[in-house]
Amino acid sequence: MAKDRSTGAPVLVIGLGRFGAAAADKLEQLGREVLVIDTDATLVQKWATRVTHVVQADATDLDALRQIGGQDFDTAIMAVGSSVEGSVLITANLVDLGVTQIWAKAMSRSHGKILERIGANHVLYPEAESGDRIAHLVSGQVLDFIEFDDELSLAKLRPPVVARDAPLAGLTLRSRFGITIVGVKSHGAPFVYAGSDTVVGEGDFIVVSGTAPDIDAFARLPR
Give the residue extent of every domain in the chain.
11-124, 129-220
Give yes or no for a contact between 184 and 196, defined as CB atoms under 8 angstroms apart: no
pLDDT score at 32 = 87
pLDDT score at 130 = 65
Class of domain 129-220: alpha beta
CATH number corresponding to 11-124: 3.40.50.720
pLDDT score at 31 = 85
**Distance between first and last Cα of the chain:** 26
Quickly list DSSP for 47-78: HTTTSSEEEE--TTSHHHHHHTTGGG-SEEEE
Give yes or no for a contact between 98 and 72, defined as CB atoms under 8 angstroms apart: no
pTM of the complete model: 0.64
The list of the chain residues with pLDDT below 50 reads 2, 4-6
Quickly list DSSP for 71-124: GG-SEEEE---S-HHHHHHHHHHHHHTT-SEEEEE-SSHHHHHHHHHHT-SEEE
pLDDT single digits (tens) 127-179: 556 667 777 777 767 888 887 766 888 999 999 999 999 999 999 999 999 99
Question: What percent of the chain is predicted at pLDDT more than 90?
Answer: 64
